[in-house]
């Protein structure tokens, strides 16, 4: 009898875990969650389309950096925050030096990575944040970090890429 009760308790617990796990995506898809967080950052921004924003940052060299925020996919489980650091023609072939430097920067800097968007000929500085745990304060920190790292390494990466 006790064995059967234990087995029933385990089954009930497993079912509860499955129900909670199934509900997490629904929480992330809640209408306007990212928009609410974006508005709460207090940053100047432009809404480009549903669930996509452009946030301008003044760079140290007088250039305005454009950091973009959107969901990373249709499931809306994570926010994608990125800035194009090197912009070339589509399918541009980046040299080994620029790609190696991008890997070192990605390793050395917290929260971000420099990624190759080969189809568009870009190197982007980006991060992703898990929506169910994201706060406006953390989102602002991610935006600031992406802008700062993009500004800090943009000229160097462009020079290595041949500009």
Q: Using N-to-C axis directions, what is the helix angle for 96-108 and 136-160, rounded to 10°?
A: 150
Beta-carbon contacts of residue 74 (< 8 Å; ≥ 6 apart) = none
C-alpha to C-alpha distance for 139 and 147, rounded to whole angstroms: 12
Confidence of residue 132 (pLDDT cuts 50, 70, 90): very high
Confidence of residue 32 (pLDDT cuts 50, 70, 90): confident
* Structure confidence by residue, pLDDT tens digits, 18-30: 444 444 344 434 5
What pLDDT sits at residue 61? 81
Q: Stretch 97-125: mean pLDDT, rounded?
A: 96
Q: Which residue has the higher pLDDT, 95 or 11?
A: 95
Beta-carbon contacts of residue 83 (< 8 Å; ≥ 6 apart) = 65, 66, 67, 68, 124, 125, 126, 146, 147, 150
What pLDDT sits at residue 158? 96
C-alpha to C-alpha distance for 80 and 67, rounded to whole angstroms: 10
Q: Residue 82: pLDDT above 60?
A: yes
| CB-based contact 146:112 (threshold 8 Å) | yes
Q: Residue 121: pLDDT above 50?
A: yes
């Amino acid at each position: 009898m006790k064995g059967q009760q234990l087995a029933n308790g385990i089954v009930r617990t497993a079912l509860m875990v499955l129900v909670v796990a199934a509900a997490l995506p629904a929480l992330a898809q809640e209408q306007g969650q990212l928009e609410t967080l974006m508005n709460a950052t207090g940053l100047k921004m432009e809404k480009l389309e549903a669930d996509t924003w452009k946030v301008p940052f003044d760079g140290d060299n007088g250039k305005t950096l454009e950091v973009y925020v959107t969901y990373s996919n249709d499931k809306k489980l994570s926010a994608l925050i990125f800035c194009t650091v090197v912009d070339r023609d589509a399918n541009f072939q980046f040299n080994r030096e620029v790609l190696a430097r991008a890997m070192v920067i990605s390793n050395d800097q917290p929260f971000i990575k420099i990624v190759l968007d080969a189809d568009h000929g870009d190197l982007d500085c980006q991060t992703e944040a898990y929506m169910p745990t994201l706060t406006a304060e953390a989102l602002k920190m991610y935006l600031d970090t992406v802008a700062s790292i993009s500004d800090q390494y943009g000229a160097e990466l462009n020079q290595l890429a041949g500009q």
